[in-house]
Amino acid sequence: MCERKTDYAFEMACSNIRYGAGVTREIGMDLQNMGARNVCLMTDRTLSQLPPVGVVLDSLTKHGVKYKIYEDVRVEPTDKSFKAAIDFAKQGHFDVYVAVGGGSVIDTCKAANLYASHPEAEFLDFVNAPIGKGKPITATLKPLIAVPTTAGTGSETTGVAIFDFENLKAKTGIANRALKPTLGMVDPLHTLHMPSRVAANSGFDVLCHALESFTALPYYLRSPCPSNPINRPAYQGSNPISDVWARHALKIVAKYLKRAVRDAGDVEARSSMHLASVFAGIGFGNAGVHLCHGMSYPIAGNVKTHRAKGYNVEHPIVPHGLSVVLTSPAVFAFTANMCPERHLEAAQILGTDVSSIKKDDAGRVLADTLRSFLYDLEVEDGLSSIGYTKEDIPSLVKGTIPQERVTKLSPRAHTEEDLTALFAASMKLY
């Protein structure tokens, strides 16, 4: 069938997206149209007191849709918090799921739907190999409507659910097209409730989704070529379709992220970032991400005492977007020589004049562009400022190794020594 060792095809899958200010007011009608009789509404304790959840509840009540609410989703979920949501879902015998929240809520809801539809499965069965067994999903999941309230994860468009595996102190996840929400209901009014630092950190996630999917190994260089199309992974490498999304998302980040962070009432900027999150999600959901995301999982998983401003949680966390962006200058300096044109184009979209820059300098120029962008947005000065020292690097490297599903999409091959150097170079940014 396929004599080449590398893949020769890619597949684009994306959720249906409905976008509009106030669109969540319709959700009760959608659930009625779907014949829903027993809806599971998932959210977190902060959001359950805020308008995005209030609007959904009003609409459900108005249209006589029965539901149960689960508001114990953990921000930056863990295997334990996933399992608690799964138990709730199994006991509820729900016919439709609605997730109102950021990536943590949507990812938790995907996992709850998956394991409630596969009640015989063990938790590790569907978790990505090598940590889990990465088994194929054979059951038909229940419909899931995702209502994102942050502008970052793009989880409403993807088949990915990420969690922190506490024993391993590393994030991992479940990646399968079957997890894709049925509909992403993108209501830009919801993002007006994001605290400034949440807007910044979720925006960094968009930035890195776009940069990493744009610079990921091209699909035709990824190996092995699957012997059966069903084995083609969700993360397939950069391709002409994901490139369109990545470039476009990057342009919006360049134009609007600073405004969205500075002024929660800037509807144009916050709406635009909300759509950018969708665009970048469709892009990376098919192309994949690479080193910033792969290295972020142990950065978040090994957190000791860092308390993130703007996050109303009781445990120390490094917000996902922050854990991703802190290594970005070092990462793109490292990968640039494999596709310097793309690194220069990214720097240009982010506002740097690259007309007289040589290809050899592409990495330095994109890294400088990112440092300056992060400085303007008052991002913490590297890993050292969130509690890490040189002594932590071996465990950070160790935590990155199992992320091969992601890191193998780096355009440049890397050793443990390279990862060590990347973490070391990310200790201080400015």
Note whether 91 binds a second copy by CB under 8 A. no
User: Which residue is it, tokens 């092995």?
Assistant: 224
Phi, psi of 167 (to 5 degrees): -60, -35
- Single residue of 67, 163, 165, 279 touching a second copy by CB under 8 A: 279
Q: Which is nearer to a second copy, 19 or 311 (CB)?
A: 19
Between CA 162 and CA 86 the distance in angstroms is 14
Q: Beta strand 96-101 with 144-148: parallel, antiparallel or unpaired?
A: parallel
Note whether 267 binds a second copy by CB under 8 A. no
Between CA 361 and CA 340 the distance in angstroms is 8
Between CA 249 and CA 34 the distance in angstroms is 32
Between CA 328 and CA 94 the distance in angstroms is 41
Contact segment (CB under 8 A) with a second copy among 5-13, 89-97, 300-308, 353-361 equals 5-13
Q: Which is nearer to a second copy, 1 or 415 (CB)?
A: 1
- Single residue of 147, 254, 275, 322 touching a second copy by CB under 8 A: 275
For residue 220, the minimal CB distance to a second copy (Å) is 8
Note whether 23 binds a second copy by CB under 8 A. yes
Note whether 224 binds a second copy by CB under 8 A. no
Give the largest Cα separation in the chain, rounded: 63
Between CA 111 and CA 380 the distance in angstroms is 32
Note whether 58 binds a second copy by CB under 8 A. no
For residue 21, the minimal CB distance to a second copy (Å) is 6
Angle at 117 between CA 113 and CA 119, to 5 degrees: 115
Note whether 140 binds a second copy by CB under 8 A. no
> Contact 233/409 with Cβ under 8 angstroms?
no
Structure tokens at 87: 């138990």
- Single residue of 30, 107, 205, 212 touching a second copy by CB under 8 A: 30
For residue 25, the minimal CB distance to a second copy (Å) is 6
For residue 76, the minimal CB distance to a second copy (Å) is 29
Between CA 111 and CA 88 the distance in angstroms is 11
Note whether 139 binds a second copy by CB under 8 A. no
Q: Which stretches of the chain bind a second copy, using CB under 8 A?
A: 1-2, 7-14, 16-23, 25-26, 29-30, 33, 228-230, 239-241, 244-245, 248, 275, 278-279
